[in-house]
Structure 1
Amino acid sequence: MSTLNRATVEATLRQFTDPHLDQDPVSAGCLRGVDIQGGQVRVRLELGYAAGLFKGGWAQTLQMALENLDGVESARVEVDCRIAAHKAQDQVPALANVKNVIAVASGKGGVGKSTTAANLALALAREGARVGMLDADIYGPSQGIMFGLAEGTRPKVRDEKFFVPLEAHGVQVMSMAFLTDDDTPVVWRGPMVSGALIQLITQTAWDDLDYLVIDMPPGTGDIHLTLAQKIPVSGAVIVTTPQDLALLDARKGVEMFRKVNIPVLGVVENMSVHICSQCGHAEHLFGEGGGEKLASRYGVDLLASLPLSMAIREQSDGGKPTTVADPDSQIAMLYQYMARRVGARIAQAGQAAPLPPIVVSDD
């Protein structure tokens, strides 16, 4: 009969890999406590990312493994989530009431960037995080429509200085579309657009956000440079389609963020495959494997590979993106996995040395 002690418990935990951190919980620094009292074992883990839909199953998996150890009468595994603040640029001051800023960008338009940003924000909220969405696509704002906010909706103003963000599906939302006429185009030069972006971010009264998702305009222009210089971004998500032209532009986006020292958290590939609704035939209309090649080239994650689906388009146009319109669908689960991976990459990018676990034992 083997001796039941901390080393035995840790060795068992090391056999399991957190699919979002790509590490076992001990190596990832998630272990916060081990309590052994006779045959009773209690383990406490702390995840640095939002994982409300994952932590219950994760705790059960580890608990079952511990209960199979010799000498264990019962085991209990508790998994908590604690989201800390991280930023890539040390010289940029933190935003009030915002822990982490995620920029969602693309090299070109038409690749599903805004849809990805909306579903990322909603998926993070479903995982238990407090989330905000800023529509920084000044020339073509669309998040108001995606979140089902009626045309002409205006934010309240607090203390004659701060905009109070609107709320939809549990996410705080702010957009230039809420301040202008929907039928009037924004005809501004670069400096005016950059100034408007800074005002939108800093003069919105965000309410204790774990994550602020920013839907960036396509390209690599003034707004992106302003964001890197003025806003404490935690990391960027690059959205592309598999076709060569989109990948070429996406590479420019990756290179831009790397040059301004903002970590690229990963790549999302949209329109990866089309499944015929009549016969089930799979066809790669825009090419195959492009997102994976891009991610591999730069040593980052392929966060998700999403199909060309009419449901994604219809649900976004209807003001209820897939993660809220059909939360149990396979596509929604892809978005949830993507959101947890994004949160995990932010936590790892700003991770300090892991704290030693507290051990209480009667041996």
Structure 2
Amino acid sequence: MSDTSCTHDCNSCGESCTSRQEGPKSFLEPLNPASTVKKVIGIVSGKGGVGKSLVTTMMAVRMNAKGYKTAILDADITGPSIPKAFGITDSGVGMTPNGLMIPATTSTGIEVMSANLVLDNETDPVIWRGPVIAGAVKQFWQEALWENVDYMFVDMPPGTGDVPLTVFQSLPVDGILIVTSPQELVSMIVAKAVNMAKKMNIPILGLVENMSYLNCPGCGTKIHVFGESHIDEVAGIHDLPILARIPIDPNIAAAVDSGTVEYLESPWLDEAVLAAEKA
């Protein structure tokens, strides 16, 4: 006889208890009733320092320029850099009468939620353990007022730890872009991100290679500063499209440092933008 309160291994007795017949539990966190987000795109990497936050900002800028209501949830709680790239220097976060956080808004209308916007000083360290950090990401999702957002880009910390897991389980992610660099170890790094996404049933839109090459200012020749790229080989192994190759360009660094990333031309991301639109 099946028992809904069964706690044993039903395989050992041959019974098909109803409590064992339920499908996998969903951990998706609902938005508050005042918010609407149509698509969520995660920006991930297997390691730090490859330009994940840069890709997040530039993708948001491009989609915003196309007329979409765009937002960024900065899930890199301990290393937030999104506000600086947009020149947001004050707290920028308000509160609605019913207690929802109001995201900061950039000069062109992109909404941003980041840990740096709720700290007293942007240089204050966030010394929190994993579960608390994961809880902050959920709060940014659930307890902020995201009004009629067409595309939300989530800047995730590197690796496959608590926060990426929280985002993949808690947010309705429509697809991810994996950001990488040309070094030889890229094969292992991309494989980690790909395998995590597959285990979590998250669609992978494609690969973005940052610091791909340097244009010689004299002759225009592409110089491969980090050696020949391995991204074509890696893309072939995992059957993924290469959506962008972003060069090393002093203008990019200058725009981020000065908080004017919204006015940076980024023609390299055309295919990545199309992939996001089809997600």
The reply to whether TM is greater than 0.5 is yes
Within 1, Cα distance between the matches of 2:29 and 2:95? 24
Larger relative strand fraction: 1
Q: 1:107 is matched with which residue: 40, 46, 50? A: 46
2:263: which partner in 1? Answer: 325
- Report the CA distance between 1:325 and its aligned residue: 2.1
Within 2, Cα distance between the matches of 1:308 and 1:282? 10
Within 2, Cα distance between the matches of 1:91 and 1:173? 24
* 1:149 and 2:88 matched: yes
- Report the CA distance between 1:279 and its aligned residue: 4.0
Within 1, Cα distance between the matches of 2:80 and 2:153? 14
Work out whether residues 268 and 291 of structure 1, in 8 Å CA contact, stay in contact via their aligned partners in 2: no
* 1:343 and 2:277 matched: yes
1:61: which partner in 2? Answer: none
**Counterpart amino acid of 2:157?**
P
Within 2, Cα distance between the matches of 1:339 and 1:179? 30
1:239: which partner in 2? Answer: 179
- Report the CA distance between 1:310 and its aligned residue: 1.1
2:17: which partner in 1? Answer: none
- Report the CA distance between 1:159 and its aligned residue: 2.5
Q: Which runs of 5+ in 2 are unaligned?
A: 1-24
1:137: which partner in 2? Answer: 76
Within 2, Cα distance between the matches of 1:93 and 1:142? 25
Taking only the aligned residue pairs, the percentage that are identical comes to 36
* 1:249 and 2:249 matched: no
Within 2, Cα distance between the matches of 1:147 and 1:183? 16
Secondary structure at 2:152's aligned position in 1?
A: strand
Work out whether residues 73 and 112 of structure 2, in 8 Å CA contact, stay in contact via their aligned partners in 1: yes
- Report the CA distance between 1:293 and its aligned residue: 2.2
Q: 1:206 is matched with which residue: 123, 126, 146? A: 146
**Cα distance change on mapping 1:90 and 1:336 into 2, 3 Å:** farther
> Matches of residues 274-293 of structure 1 in structure 2 within 5 Å?
274-293=214-233
Q: 2:103 is matched with which residue: 165, 168, 173? A: 165
1:229: which partner in 2? Answer: 169
* 1:316 and 2:256 matched: yes
Secondary structure at 2:63's aligned position in 1?
A: helix
| Cα RMSD after superposing both structures | 1.8
* 1:92 and 2:28 matched: yes
Within 1, Cα distance between the matches of 2:99 and 2:184? 45
- Report the CA distance between 1:297 and its aligned residue: 1.6
Aligned length, in residue pairs: 250
Residues 140-180 of structure 1: per-residue CA shift (max 9 Å, x gap): 10000011112x32311113521111111221111110011
- Report the CA distance between 1:91 and its aligned residue: 6.7
* 1:127 and 2:72 matched: no
**Counterpart amino acid of 1:286?**
F
1:82: which partner in 2? Answer: none
Within 1, Cα distance between the matches of 2:28 and 2:137? 16
> Matches of residues 286-301 of structure 1 in structure 2 within 5 Å?
286-301=226-241
1:24: which partner in 2? Answer: none
Residues 298-334 of structure 1: per-residue CA shift (max 9 Å, x gap): 112211011111111111111122xx4244xxxx222
Work out whether residues 137 and 163 of structure 2, in 8 Å CA contact, stay in contact via their aligned partners in 1: yes
Residues 38-62 of structure 1: per-residue CA shift (max 9 Å, x gap): xxxxxxxxxxxxxxxxxxxxxxxxx
> Matches of residues 169-180 of structure 1 in structure 2 within 5 Å?
169-180=108-119
1:305: which partner in 2? Answer: 245
Within 2, Cα distance between the matches of 1:269 and 1:229? 26
Which deviates more from structure 2 when the two are superposed, residues 297-306 or residues 244-253?
Answer: 244-253
2:57: which partner in 1? Answer: 118
Residues 95-151 of structure 1: per-residue CA shift (max 9 Å, x gap): 44001111101111111110000000111111121110111111110000011112x
**TM-score of the superposed pair, with normalisation by structure 1:** 0.66
Work out whether residues 103 and 235 of structure 1, in 8 Å CA contact, stay in contact via their aligned partners in 2: yes
Which portions of structure 1, spanning 4 or more consecutive aligned residues, are displaced by more than 4 angstroms?
none
Within 2, Cα distance between the matches of 1:137 and 1:326? 23
Work out whether residues 131 and 172 of structure 1, in 8 Å CA contact, stay in contact via their aligned partners in 2: yes
Within 2, Cα distance between the matches of 1:90 and 1:230? 8
Work out whether residues 252 and 264 of structure 2, in 8 Å CA contact, stay in contact via their aligned partners in 1: no
**Counterpart amino acid of 2:76?**
D
Within 1, Cα distance between the matches of 2:277 and 2:63? 8
- Report the CA distance between 1:276 and its aligned residue: 2.1
Secondary structure at 1:244's aligned position in 2?
A: coil
2:4: which partner in 1? Answer: none
- Report the CA distance between 1:203 and its aligned residue: 0.7
